Amino acid sequence: MAREAEVRLRGQLSRLRSLPLLRGARLSGELERLQKQLERIVEEPSDEEIWRSVELARNPDRPYALDYVERLLEDWFELHGDRQHGDDAAVVAGLGRFRGRTVVLIGNQKGRDVKERTKRNFGMAYPEGYGKAMRAMELADRHGFPLLTLIDIPGAYPGVTAEQHGQGGAIARSQSLMARLRVPTVACIIGEGGSGGAIATALADRVLMQENAMYTVISPEGCAAILWRDAGEAKKAAAAFKPDAGHCLELGVVDAVVPEPEGGAQTDFDDAARLLGDALAESLEMLDGMSGEELRQQRRVRFRTIGQVSAAP
């Protein structure tokens, strides 16, 4: 697979190199990053390296969505509530000015201290949270504001009320709404990209992933409990299903990896924010000038073709 990815990335590289560098520095930055990512890919990470990225993705000192909001957006105005029956603190949504233009931002939000963690349910969204997110998406669509989503969720909440309020359907409808949006959308996994809770807000035109984030169909512990019949085998499970940024890039699941400060995003919030901001801005720039119809068609093709199997000859 690393082989295929190499071929794909090399193709991308040569295409980028051949482009007249109309937009200057930004695009050439993208080129440089592709080059670096390519270098990283050719050597397979060890099981230990994969586990280290799992630990970093979950590091409680890591910047959360609102830490980035504070550093990247001006005139932030937070939206609250799903207009149905609640305001889910595990999902934040709002309007702000990002490098000169108004955007809508949706993020998963964990808490810093015990009290906030409880209030925010450790970042595990309820259906009310997806409801708030969908409302924010509709606002973005109505006004032509680009949509940014920052994903950092261990997973949907395994609770009775969450089921009674229909979290399966809510996750489906949130994706369905994203598939219909006529505005540029960029998602970035900034910590844990856990399963349905993550994909609910990740059906975007461009999907980025921070260097030390993880993106999984199930938690390593959950996977180990089912397949190894022992949650303690999480490290083995992680090594088997490869949730790290490098592999997600290889598999074509994310479009680019966003660098973090040496040692991880938790070491320098400002620098992490700057790097994330640059990547988001670059992605938005790539989408500039596309019509709403083009955007949504291209977005659907993207997800229609990821990891596509073809008929045996």
Q: Which of residues 80-139 bind other proteins (CB under 8 A)?
A: 80-87, 95-97, 101-102, 128, 131-132, 139
144 part of the interface to a copy of itself, by CB under 8 A? no
- Contacting a copy of itself (CB under 8 A), which of 165, 242, 296, 299? 165
104: helix, strand or coil = strand
Six-digit token string for 65: 């969505």
Binds 258, which of other proteins, a copy of itself, none (CB < 5 to 8 A, cut-off by type)?
none
Residue with tokens 């931002």: 105
**16-24, 159-167, 254-262, 287-295 -> range binding a copy of itself (CB under 8 A):** 159-167
Among candidate residues 147, 136, 123, 263, the one with its CA nearest the CA of residue 207: 147
Site string for other proteins, 241-260 (x = CB under 8 A): xxx---xx--x-x-------
18 touches other proteins (CB under 8 A)? no
Q: Could you tell me which residues come within 8 angstroms of residue 275 by beta carbon, excluding any fewer than 6 positions away?
A: 258, 259, 260, 261
The per-type count for the chain, helices as H runs and strands as E runs, is 14, 8
Nearer to a copy of itself, 88 or 260 (CB): 88
Least distance in Å: CB of 165 to a copy of itself?
Answer: 5
- Tokens 């200057």 belong to 24
CB of 131 to a copy of itself, least distance (A): 8
d(CA 259, CA 250): 16
Specify the long-range contacts of residues 260-263, CB closer than 8 Å, at least 24 apart.
260/210, 260/211, 260/212
Residues 163-182 that bind other proteins (CB under 8 A): 163-169, 171-173, 175-176, 179-180
For residue 194, the minimal CB distance to a copy of itself (Å) is 23
Q: Which stretch binds a copy of itself (CB under 8 A): 58-66, 83-91, 141-149, 182-190?
A: 83-91
The single residue listed with the structure tokens 């910590």 is: 191
Least separation in angstroms between residue 81's CB and a copy of itself is 9
Shortest distance, position 167 Cβ to a copy of itself, whole Å: 11
Q: Give the total of residues touching other proteins (CB under 8 A).
A: 81
Residue 299 lies near other proteins (rule: CB under 8 A): yes
Can you point out the beta strands (E) in 118-263? 147-153, 185-194, 206-210, 214-216, 256-258
**CB 132 → a copy of itself: shortest distance, Å?**
13
220 by Cβ neighbours in 10 Å (0-12 / 13-18 / 19+) ranks as: buried
Report whether 152 contacts 190 (CB < 8 A).
Answer: yes
Query: Binding residues for a copy of itself, per CB under 8 A?
Result: 83-85, 127, 131, 164-166, 169, 173
